[in-house]
Amino acid sequence: MTSITRNLPWFIKDVGVVIVGQKCYVSLVEDLNISDVDCLKYALSKGLGIGIVVGGSIMKVPQLLLILSAKSARGLSLSAYVLETLAYAITLVYSYRNNFPFSTYGENFFLTVQNVVITLLIIYYPSSRLTRAHNTTPQLALATAMTVVSGIALYYVPPPTLAVLQMATIPLSLFSKIPQISQNARARSTGQLSAFAVISQVAGCLARLFTTAAEVGDPILTAGFALALLLNVILGVQMWAYWGNDGVRDNGILTEGKARHEEREKLPAAAWQQNGKVDIVVQPASPTVSSSARSQSGRRWARKLD
């Protein structure tokens, strides 16, 4: 068997060496030494890391599709996504500038980009349909400019300051999930929150705890992933508990459809949003007849009777 593994095509060997290194490739592939625990752990960590990076590239795509298909960001917390995006960006820059292997942080690049798009969509699609008629272009332009400026500032910040910011991602992770968890609890619904995204984040945090311990050993990163795991588990429990609910609550909080209907009822004329525009229908007033016209009409009928 080793005669085959030692004579694999060059392109297969090169890929294996790039992933696990020359030493572990020779031990695990060419010599088939499955008792090499260190190389087995390293290879498993690399495999998980690559899987996480690939999964991270599509993790938030279902969330994007949910928002676009519903044309609504109902149930999504803007502050939660802003803080989460900032935490992803800090971890991305911190890992890159410390020359960590890409397989240990690559998903943060894709998650940062996807979160920026989701944040902009939350600004564009407010939770209330009746407020969507307002022009959101200034808010979108401001959010885009702040994103670009923040990214440039993070890239050029001094290393000691960047280390402090990485430590700050631990409370950032906490504060980024609390608004979403609180909003779900109040509405007893997770709205447009994607179950795929939540489950993927739980699995990703579990895998990242292993890969960070095996390849990096950075206690700051480990603590951040542990806290993120705990908070994502809470979101997962909420999705299970509120599955099928559409914003219904018994103690006075209305459903989405009922609240929208009552908002329409409060308007003086029938006004509601269609495709981002507000159509106002004004009931026609009944015609009024002046007293002089009535008197003239009465005289005409009187002459005919005479």
Q: How many other CB atoms are there within 10 angstroms of residue 74's CB atom? A: 20
Residue among 55, 40, 88, 95 nearest 204 (CA): 55
Structural tokens at position 21: 């290194």
CB–CB of 148/70 below 8 Å?
Answer: no
Structural tokens at position 146: 């702040």
- Cα 81–chain centre separation: 6
How big is the CA angle at 74 (ends 69 and 77), to the nearest 5 degrees?
120
SS3 277: strand
How big is the CA angle at 12 (ends 11 and 18), to the nearest 5 degrees?
90
- Cα 130–chain centre separation: 23
Q: Which residues of 94-107 are buried (b: 16+ CB within 10 A; e: fewer)?
A: bbeeeebeebbbbb
Reading the chain (306 residues) residue by residue, the pLDDT tens digits are: 777 888 888 888 888 888 888 888 888 888 888 888 888 988 888 888 888 888 888 888 988 998 898 888 887 888 888 988 999 999 999 999 988 888 888 889 999 999 999 999 988 886 555 445 567 778 888 888 999 999 999 989 999 999 899 888 888 877 778 888 888 888 888 877 888 888 888 988 888 888 888 877 778 778 888 888 898 899 999 989 888 776 544 334 444 444 444 444 444 444 444 444 444 444 555 555 555 555 554 555 444 444
Interatomic CA distance for residues 72 and 120, integer angstroms:
12
Residue among 199, 192, 191, 207 nearest 235 (CA): 199
